Chain A
Amino acid sequence: MFSRDTWNEIFETIQKNKLRTFLSGFTVALGILIFVSLFGLGNGLINTFDKFFQEDATNVLYLFPGKTTLPYKGYKSSRRIEFENSDLADIKKNFPMFLEYVTPRITRNKLVKFKEESDNYNITGVDWGYQFAEKTIIMKGRYLNVEDIKNKTKYAVIGRLVEQDLFGSKNAIGKYLDVGGSVFKVIGVFQDDGGDREERGIYIPYRTLQLIEKNTDKIDQMVVAFKPEMGYMGAMAFERSLDKFFKDKKFINPEDQNGIFIRNVADQLQQNQQFARVLQIIVAFVAFGTIIAGIIGISNIMVFVVKERTKELGIRKALGATPKAVISTILLESVFITTISGFTGMLIGIALLSSLGESLAEDYFITNPFINTGVAISATLLLIIFGAIAGYIPAKRAGRIKPIIALQDE
């Protein structure tokens, strides 16, 4: 069955029936190519998804003040809740076992000037921990530290694009900026995977910002980072305790959903991972459909091939070909073609995916599409094996062709 002679015969047949070879090969190659591309693009989508939630730390809770909707303990509803510095201290005091760090976030938009250049930027007053919450990467200089906060220094850490806008190609470190009328010294330049918007921002110590604003102790929002080893359940429990603590402290009705808001990244992460999983299932389903379509395609081609070769197979049988010889001729030929073209399609697909890289990231949310080589190879093998099984039925029928019927003149 596997003698050199058999293969010679098969190669000859393949070589001399180029159209037929091309048709069956093309179907298989295209099927695998579509499968690989689809699967890879799906993975790229999931990549983008994961990246979205890796831009910021995932072990943080965001606390936003709201407006009450229920009266409570003598307070009327529609009261605006505000956070202040003592809230930060209370969190540190009451939840030390959960806490990694806590930082406020006060955002203002101010006109920033350096010499002739000026523009409006988001100025964010933060504590040192905010670097980890935002996963800010320092390119040069340093981030704000504990001393800067305590001493209310007029230091600023500016985004990469701010430096580009205001200083051009010059180094911004050590230069003085006019931020909304106050002078700040640039001590660091950062970059952020979050994109241009984030890199057009400036961080200053929150105490300094409060000092400029008539020495207030009000805070816009609080970012609370918990210890990652607490896990999802721990994070949810921490969120509940924080909620209860602040509703107590701010005299908010425990039933009131609008007094304060807590955004839990861990919870969102969980949801989004579920979404990504659903996405993966959909992609796998469509890809599986492609493989099924490919198998049906091969079966059709096999039926066509046997039909087309009926006369030839009749001649071969009259000359002494046994049914087994006929079946193995057809099957080996088709398996050979599907193997070669299947793997060709697979390699083209993989090459296509790796050539895409980040090029679709901006417009189509597809980052670094890829397919696991094992998945690609097993899909190809699956197509080959099922193609052979599907081809066996017409091949078997071909083996039973009666020479006299095959040789009848039409």
Chain B
Amino acid sequence: MIEIKDLHKSYKMGSNVLHVLKGINFSVKEGELVAIMGSSGSGKSTLLNILGMLDVADSGEYTLDGVPIKNLNETKAANYRNKFLGFIFQSFNLINYKSALENVALPLYYQRVPRKERQAKAMNYLEQVGLKEWSHHLPSELSGGQKQRVAIARAMVAEPKVLLADELTGALDSTTSYEVMDLIQKINDQGNTILVVTHEDDIAHMCKRIVYLKDGVIMKDEKVKQIKASAYV
């Protein structure tokens, strides 16, 4: 599903050049649930941004579902993001003046899906994350866990190839974190490919594979025995 070869990325900080990614090679198959772990500054967020086409690598190859991702202009990147990827952010990033349902339906708006169909689909995904009754509430009326579930539904609604989650439990307490991870595991069990960036060990061990990143290189890449989050809920 994801194929990365010799990825490099550096940032200019005034006169200094900060080499963040120093040759990353890895691949993700369909249906995997991968955690990318590392301390802050290890380059894990940069990697995720490149995977998410929010940022561009300096060199290296990136193939997503057989499509080489290169020479992207803004419009093309936007279309690929819309078609291939679903994002889940640490700070949820819901649009604060839109209801839960409208937030979930937004990616479909940019796919020009008709309004009725959009809303039906969005409602369906809200139901899957257990928030059907909250569909007409604004984000400000929802708890952190609920917001993140809305964000997950929004990431799912366009039926992307890959879900990218950046510290998705970073703003949640542990109980809520496990609830959210439980949901992620269930979505993964349905066959969806998910990448989770985290620095929390327990969250990482709820995935099926952990990639350890340190100073811009992969230290370790191992399959782990998945801990079911439902055991904690």
Residue in B52, B93, B94, B112 with the greatest tally of chain A CB atoms within 10 Å: B93
User: Once the chains are docked, how many angstroms separate the CA of A5 from the CA of B75?
Assistant: 20
Instruction: Kindly state whether residue B133 has any CB partner on chain A within 8 Å.
Output: no
Looking at chain A's contact residues, the main secondary structure is helix
User: Once the chains are docked, how many angstroms separate the CA of A403 from the CA of B107?
Assistant: 15
Residues of B with C-beta under 8 A to A320: 78-79, 81-83, 107, 110-111, 158
Quick check: A17 and B81 within 8 Å, CB to CB?
Answer: no
User: Once the chains are docked, how many angstroms separate the CA of A12 from the CA of B74?
Assistant: 26
Residue in A13, A317, A318, A320 with the greatest tally of chain B CB atoms within 10 Å: A320
Residues of B with C-beta under 8 A to A321: 78, 110
Quick check: B110 and A319 within 8 Å, CB to CB?
Answer: yes
Instruction: Kindly state whether residue B29 has any CB partner on chain A within 8 Å.
Output: no
Quick check: B49 and A319 within 8 Å, CB to CB?
Answer: no
Residues of B with C-beta under 8 A to A194: none
User: Once the chains are docked, how many angstroms separate the CA of A122 from the CA of B49?
Assistant: 96
Quick check: A323 and B54 within 8 Å, CB to CB?
Answer: no
Q: Nearest CB to that of B52 among chain A residues?
A: A318
Instruction: Kindly state whether residue B106 has any CB partner on chain A within 8 Å.
Output: yes
Instruction: Kindly state whether residue B70 has any CB partner on chain A within 8 Å.
Output: no
When the two chains form the complex, which single residue of B81, B83, B91, B98 contacts A318, counting CB atoms closer than 8 Å?
B81
Instruction: Kindly state whether residue B178 has any CB partner on chain A within 8 Å.
Output: no
What count of chain A residues pass the 8 Å CB interface test? 28
Residues of B with C-beta under 8 A to A399: 74
When the two chains form the complex, which single residue of A17, A312, A319 contacts B154, counting CB atoms closer than 8 Å?
A319
User: Once the chains are docked, how many angstroms separate the CA of A324 from the CA of B79?
Assistant: 12
Minimum C-beta distance from B172 to chain A (A): 15
When the two chains form the complex, which single residue of B82, B95, B115, B158 contacts A315, counting CB atoms closer than 8 Å?
B95
Docked complex: B42-64 residues within 8 A CB-CB of A: 49, 52, 54-55
User: Once the chains are docked, how many angstroms separate the CA of A324 from the CA of B73?
Assistant: 12
Quick check: B54 and A404 within 8 Å, CB to CB?
Answer: yes
Quick check: B75 and A404 within 8 Å, CB to CB?
Answer: no
Residue in B83, B97, B112 with the greatest tally of chain A CB atoms within 10 Å: B97
Residues of A with C-beta under 8 A to B96: 312
Instruction: Kindly state whether residue B125 has any CB partner on chain A within 8 Å.
Output: no
Residues of B with C-beta under 8 A to A17: 97
User: Once the chains are docked, how many angstroms separate the CA of A317 from the CA of B107?
Assistant: 10
User: Once the chains are docked, how many angstroms separate the CA of A320 from the CA of B83?
Assistant: 8
Given contacts A5-B115, A409-B91, contact A319 B54 (CB under 8 A): no
Q: Nearest CB to that of B115 among chain A residues?
A: A5
Instruction: Kindly state whether residue A400 has any CB partner on chain B within 8 Å.
Output: yes
Given contacts A403-B54, A404-B54, contact A319 B115 (CB under 8 A): no
Instruction: Kindly state whether residue A113 has any CB partner on chain B within 8 Å.
Output: no
Instruction: Kindly state whether residue B90 has any CB partner on chain A within 8 Å.
Output: yes
User: Once the chains are docked, how many angstroms separate the CA of A16 from the CA of B139?
Assistant: 13
Residues of B with C-beta under 8 A to A197: none
Quick check: B55 and A404 within 8 Å, CB to CB?
Answer: yes
User: Once the chains are docked, how many angstroms separate the CA of A315 from the CA of B89?
Assistant: 10
Instruction: Kindly state whether residue A9 has any CB partner on chain B within 8 Å.
Output: yes
Instruction: Kindly state whether residue A215 has any CB partner on chain B within 8 Å.
Output: no
User: Once the chains are docked, how many angstroms separate the CA of A8 from the CA of B102?
Assistant: 12
Minimum C-beta distance from B169 to chain A (A): 15
Proximity bits, A229-267, B CB within 8 Å = 1, else 0: 000000000000000000000000000000000000000
Residues of A with C-beta under 8 A to B79: 320, 322
User: Once the chains are docked, how many angstroms separate the CA of A5 from the CA of B91?
Assistant: 28
Residue in B78, B94, B115, B158 with the greatest tally of chain A CB atoms within 10 Å: B78
User: Once the chains are docked, how many angstroms separate the CA of A111 from the CA of B91?
Assistant: 95
Q: Nearest CB to that of B164 among chain A residues?
A: A318
Instruction: Kindly state whether residue A175 has any CB partner on chain B within 8 Å.
Output: no
Residues of A with C-beta under 8 A to B82: 319-320
When the two chains form the complex, which single residue of A13, A16, A319 contacts B87, counting CB atoms closer than 8 Å?
A319
Quick check: A316 and B106 within 8 Å, CB to CB?
Answer: yes
Quick check: A318 and B75 within 8 Å, CB to CB?
Answer: no
User: Once the chains are docked, how many angstroms separate the CA of A311 from the CA of B96?
Assistant: 10
Given contacts A319-B107, A319-B154, contact A409 B90 (CB under 8 A): yes
Instruction: Kindly state whether residue B26 has any CB partner on chain A within 8 Å.
Output: no
When the two chains form the complex, which single residue of A311, A316, A318, A322 contacts B54, counting CB atoms closer than 8 Å?
A318
Instruction: Kindly state whether residue A79 has any CB partner on chain B within 8 Å.
Output: no
Q: Nearest CB to that of B48 among chain A residues?
A: A404
Residues of A with C-beta under 8 A to B154: 319
User: Once the chains are docked, how many angstroms separate the CA of A176 from the CA of B124?
Assistant: 101
When the two chains form the complex, which single residue of B52, B87, B98, B110 contacts A325, counting CB atoms closer than 8 Å?
B110
Instruction: Kindly state whether residue A402 has any CB partner on chain B within 8 Å.
Output: yes
Residues of B with C-beta under 8 A to A351: none
User: Once the chains are docked, how many angstroms separate the CA of A220 from the CA of B82?
Assistant: 95
Quick check: B109 and A5 within 8 Å, CB to CB?
Answer: yes
- What are 8 A-to-B residue pairs whose CB atoms are below 8 Å? A5-B114, A9-B109, A16-B98, A316-B95, A320-B82, A320-B111, A404-B49, A409-B90
The residues of A with any CB-CB pair to B shorter than 8 Å are: 5, 8-9, 12-13, 16-17, 311-312, 314-325, 399-400, 402-404, 407, 409
Nearest first, the 10 closest Cβ-Cβ pairs linking A and B are A320-B82, A16-B97, A320-B110, A322-B78, A404-B54, A322-B75, A319-B107, A323-B74, A403-B54, A315-B93
Q: In the complex, given contacts A13-B97, A320-B79, what are 7 additional A-B residue pairs having Cβ atoms less than 8 angstroms apart?
A: A5-B114, A5-B115, A317-B81, A318-B52, A320-B82, A322-B78, A402-B54
